[in-house]
Amino acid sequence: GESVGLHLPTLSVQEGDNSIINCAYSNSASDYFIWYKQESGKGPQFIIDIRSNMDKRQGQRVTVLLNKTVKHLSLQIAATQPGDSAVYFCAENTGRRALTFGSGTRLQVQP
Amino acid sequence: NAGVTQTPKFRVLKTGQSMTLLCAQDMNHEYMYWYRQDPGMGLRLIHYSVGEGTTAKGEVPDGYNVSRLKKQNFLLGLESAAPSQTSVYFCASSYSSSGLAGDRNEQFFGPGTRLTVL
């Protein structure tokens, strides 16, 4: 799988701003996508999911956008809070009951 | 409900030693998974199980074995630990649905086991 070694891409935003985290996926046959949040020392936590027959899905303060043409997924977080600081992973379901995870983006929220 | 639990939380092994990591879930999920996560990287699938008594290889299965004797438990074994297996190990479980394409496959993760092999 893809790897960025020890240096995760980092997005730094001011508290209250909107955040956009991007993810490129690899398999055009993937039919289901999930965004996970992982805080330091914890396991990943589900944020939001989207099926391939949708372009957009909204949750509480979060929106996921899917562009199948360019195999791109994004997570938008509205009014980012310090508690949103974490590493965010996108994951794709390649149809074999298992997920393939991206390498993650670290979100840092400045007070 | 406790969700997904893992034991132990931490372990240090010497090269060549063996150990078993235990994962338990109380959500009656059919599917269970073992992942490893190395520093600054995403999770990589080691093995998974689609039901009691069945297991399958994931992306990085070499050096590991698994067993699913009971629906609620999924064990990960290292027969002869190597320094390359130093990692954080996560177990996850998910429910099964109709089997149609596009099934929801939200996975619930345990807190992780930090393993160091010297």
Inter-residue contact B23 to B71 (CB < 8 Å): no
* First and final C-alpha spacing in chain A: 35
> Where is pLDDT greater, at B98 or B53?
B53
Task: List the single residue in B with minimal CA-CA distance to A54.
Answer: B102
At A11-44, the pLDDT tens digits run: 999 999 999 999 998 888 888 899 999 998 899 9
Contacts of A24 (CB under 8 A, 6+ apart): A71, A72, A73, A102
Digit-coded pLDDT (tens) for B83-117: 999 999 999 998 864 444 445 667 899 999 999 99
The answer to whether the CB atoms of A104 and B102 lie below 8 A apart is: no
Q: How many CB pairs under 8 A join A and B?
A: 74
Strands (E), chain B: 4-7, 10-13, 19-25, 31-37, 43-51, 54-57, 65-67, 73-78, 87-94, 108-109, 113-117
Q: Which residues pair with B88 in a beta bridge?
A: B37, B114
pLDDT at A3 over 50: no
State whether B42 and A32 contact (CB < 8 Å). no
